[in-house]
Amino acid sequence: DAGITQSPRHKVTETGTPVTLRCHQTENHRYMYWYRQDPGHGLRLIHYSYGVKDTDKGEVSDGYSVSRSKTEDFLLTLESATSSQTSVYFCAISDLAPPYEQYFGPGTRLTVT
Amino acid sequence: GENVEQHPSTLSVQEGDSAVIKCTYSDSASNYFPWYKQELGKRPQLIIDIRSNVGEKKDQRIAVTLNKTAKHFSLHITETQPEDSAVYFCAASEEAAGNKLTFGGGTRVLVKP
């Protein structure tokens, strides 16, 4: 597996609380992505980054923000968690040059009660 | 934006038989089509991919075909084995636009011994 870690791996939080998930890579890849996975929906892109301090929205970005201050770290923040944000969150990385494959981290299971 | 449809949602095959999963996409700008395998509780793992300048690609027992005109692509697994049991996802992206993957809803494959 590519050098990608996510923390925490599991988290239970209450509605209305802020939550930050961390993705850390050791591959020096330029692109980083956050996806959420829900039954019947496959994986859906939340936000992505194409470099330090360069981020953009994905398909389901409402209620989420991201930051990337270093090449190796990409943070996903839920400012005020809701039950609809209960999901498994995957980080992925990709290089700028071919072959462009995206490699996924181990995932974070988040439960909002 | 891109929309990817995947069929069937579940597939049960006898060990040794072939399995075929089909996907359609909507955005003619998409030029990269990966397939991921996800075992229960694990991260998605890239198993094969194809680019729009190629019509077919093979890797041992798995093959992918692409029909750009019809905007559909398929995964073929021959001589299925119990370890092929997993959820398979197709995806599509435009590599030059950040390689943001749009996933299909997934196919749960069960290989019966």
Distance of alpha carbon A29 from alpha carbon B9, whole angstroms: 33
Could you report the per-residue pLDDT of B16-47, keeping only the tens digit for each? 999 999 999 999 999 999 999 999 999 999 99
Whether chain B has a CB inside 8 Å of the CB on A45: the answer is yes
**Is the pLDDT confidence value at A52 over 70?**
yes
Average pLDDT over residues B8-21: 97
Class of residue A21 by CB neighbours under 10 A (exposed 0-12, middle 13-18, buried 19+)? buried
What does each C-alpha distance from B100 to A33, B54, B104 come to in angstroms? 8, 20, 13
As a whole number of angstroms, the distance between CA B97 and CA B38 comes to 26
C-alpha–C-alpha distance, residues B70 and B28, integer Å? 10
**Residue in A closest to B108 by C-alpha:** A40
Instruction: Pick the residue of B40, B93, B103 with the most A CBs within 10 A to test the interface with A by mutation.
Output: B103
* pLDDT given for residue A2 in this prediction: 66
**List of residues 6+ apart from B62 with CB closer than 8 A:** B35, B47, B48, B75, B76, B77, B78
CB pairs under 8 A between A and B: 55
